[in-house]
Amino acid sequence: MGELDLSKINAQLSRVSLREKKGNLYLRGRFPSGDTVVRKEIALKLKANKDCLKIALAKAKEIDAQLMLGKWEEQEKKSLTVLKAITEFEKDYWTRYEPTPNRLYSWRKNQHSYFKELPQDEIFDSRFLKKAVTSFSPASYTQKRFCQLIRPVAKFHNIDFDFTPYMKYQQSELNVRALPTNEQIITAYHHEKYLPHKWALSVLALFGLRPHEFFKSEFKFDNDPPVIYVSADTKKKKPRTVYPVPIDGLDLFDTPNQWKVFEKNWDLTRPNLVLGQHITEWFKKYPFTPYQLRHYYAVRGAMLGISPTFLSKWMGHSLSVHYKHYGSLLGDLESEKLWKDKFLK
């Protein structure tokens, strides 16, 4: 702080103290929160310089007096409603992140869809958070997702609440019987008359792409082997090369002209989720979804002896995610294959 002496200023306070952190002033103290007292810091949103110090001291004395008189919680209740807490967090969020189409869509699809259902006039404190997170089914995906979205808001407002016990959702294991078979894929492929859809079906089945990646890829089918280059403008923000896992009877062919015309008239700057949903709509006429083809790509690759290290790299996720998502399923399939190879020759 240079010439500013916080020790002399803090001597004027009894329940709180001023602190400098990264060139900004904060107020530190022990504050009542529900039935407990928690230690926390309050961002004063003031720079650590001589001009702001008088304002910081005035705010500190005011809060110090509220704590001594037991009026802090009453003051908090009057000031921080759910609506205000979320509005202030959102305003700060967009100062830290560029509002790209993907981020804006994600905000509307995730934060807004959850936050709009909250009672806007209630006080945003630890008691409210407890009531909100327990309103969801225990260990459900929605409970975990709500915690992930509301936790940064609580942290932004220095509200102490432990979300950990409410984030225990475990994704259901994949069921091998829910995956498509080679026969189903081949049948759908040969029955498809519209060339762009037929092409999309073969590409997604052989390369296991996420649906939106179809619009973010460069296809090199004249290579040996044929490959797809997925751009960095995808979920993982990293480019990658994808190799096919073959299916007998399923052919690759060059991009149909109808697809090229379609792409020219399609807004590829739209959020990835919207692009992916467009592909998913096409697949409603098939007995499987694009993501089931992706899962089958992983399983088929494992059964052909391709290392999980390479499969996870081609699919664009970490090795730990690959094992977590496909581990038990692959174990069952590999066990069955081992038994058949040994006893059914």
pLDDT band at 1 (very low <50, low <70, confident <90, very high): very low
- What's the structural domain count of the chain? 3
Question: Containing H/E element for 18?
Answer: strand 16-21
- How many other C-beta atoms lie within 10 A of the C-beta of residue 75? 14
Do you know the residue count of the chain?
Answer: 345
- How much is the pLDDT for 114? 93
Would you say 276 and 212 are in contact if contact means Cβ atoms under 8 Å apart?
Answer: yes
Residue 334 lies in a domain: yes
The DSSP string of 272-326 is HHHHHHHHHHHGGGSSS-HHHHHHHHHHHHHHTT--HHHHHHHHTS-HHHHHHHH
Q: Are residues 215 and 90 in the same domain?
A: no
- How much is the pLDDT for 37? 80
Close Cβ partners of 216 (under 8 Å, ≥ 6 residues apart): 230, 231, 233, 234, 268, 272, 275
Q: Are residues 184 and 281 in the same domain?
A: yes
Residue 333 lies in a domain: yes
Q: Are residues 213 and 333 in the same domain?
A: yes
Q: Are residues 28 and 155 in the same domain?
A: no
Q: Are residues 190 and 141 in the same domain?
A: no
Q: Are residues 40 and 66 in the same domain?
A: yes
Q: Are residues 309 and 195 in the same domain?
A: yes
- How many other C-beta atoms lie within 10 A of the C-beta of residue 238? 10
Supply the DSSP symbol for 176: G
Residue 162 lies in a domain: yes
pLDDT digits (tens, 9 = 90+) for 141-151: 899 999 999 99
Residue 15 lies in a domain: yes
Q: Which residue segment(s) compose the domain that 91 sits in? A: 82-166
- How much is the pLDDT for 199? 92
Q: Are residues 187 and 150 in the same domain?
A: no
Give the burial class of 27: count Cβ atoms within 10 A of its Cβ; 0-12 exposed, 13-18 middle, 19 or more buried: buried
- pTM of the predicted model, to two decimals? 0.60
Would you say 259 and 215 are in contact if contact means Cβ atoms under 8 Å apart?
Answer: no
Residue that the structure tokens 């993982």 belong to: 236
* 76 has pLDDT over 60: no
The average pLDDT across 86-107 equals 90
Residue 240 to residue 238: CA distance in whole angstroms: 6
Residue 306 lies in a domain: yes
- How much is the pLDDT for 226? 92
Residue 305 to residue 308: CA distance in whole angstroms: 9
Q: Are residues 152 and 44 in the same domain?
A: no
Token pair in block for residue 104: 């804006």
- How much is the pLDDT for 328? 65
- How much is the pLDDT for 251? 86
Residue 1 lies in a domain: no
Residue 171 lies in a domain: no
